[in-house]
Structure 1
């Protein structure tokens, strides 16, 4: 009997950590609620390690992928296919820059901050179109308020 109780408590403890993880849904849209074109909604998420982000292809022609160089050290990249949903679980703390490859130059980007994240100095190294950079900077301003 004691063995059954102890086993049950151990199982509950293991599952309890998984139950605390959150799933965020992100819509990939041609037009956002505020009238912006080619957007992820929401454009900024503050998540915790182990949380899942589900990208939903609400409109055709979009994907979600990590931009090269815009992820924490040790994080695994991801690249969704056009018109398909993708679910990713983020375990490494830091800042993730997500883009829609076909609409990157039009500024279709989003930022995910995982844990106690700070923007790395080299976040904007490499090719980042002006519209995308402006949107990333606006999204990163959310770190000060979260």
Structure 2
């Protein structure tokens, strides 16, 4: 299985408390996902719920041609105000391992996303990645960076 590693860094001109509070709320995923993906959190969360190890989050998402897919991730690790990790348990990927790291920096917080993913279906999946998926994943993170910049105020 071919895996694809990606790394994204975003500077947030805010406190570690504000950054952690925002990104550990499962309901805020909708705010930082491109609208055309029709991303809906289907788990029953309250606005003040925060991630914890073992938390299951379910979604509906339409990544291609408006086709709705179910997706389930588990928060596997959390170290308060430092990082959390989500892993796909059911969904469109053969592997989805996403680390969210937060580190205080001069004037704010450096947020680093480390993503490793794989596409199912062998050679067909590798072709789909090169033609569609890699571009789409990068566009999702570019969108997130723009929206996060607007929300937290870019420097």
Bin for the TM-score computed over the shorter chain: 0.3 to 0.5
From the two aligned structures, give the one with the greater strand fraction.
Answer: 2
Q: Which has the higher contact order (CA 8 A, sep 6+)?
A: 2
From the two aligned structures, give the one with the greater helix fraction.
Answer: 2
Q: Which protein has the larger Cα radius of gyration, Structure 1 or Structure 2?
A: 1
> Normalised by the size of structure 2, how large is the TM-score?
0.32
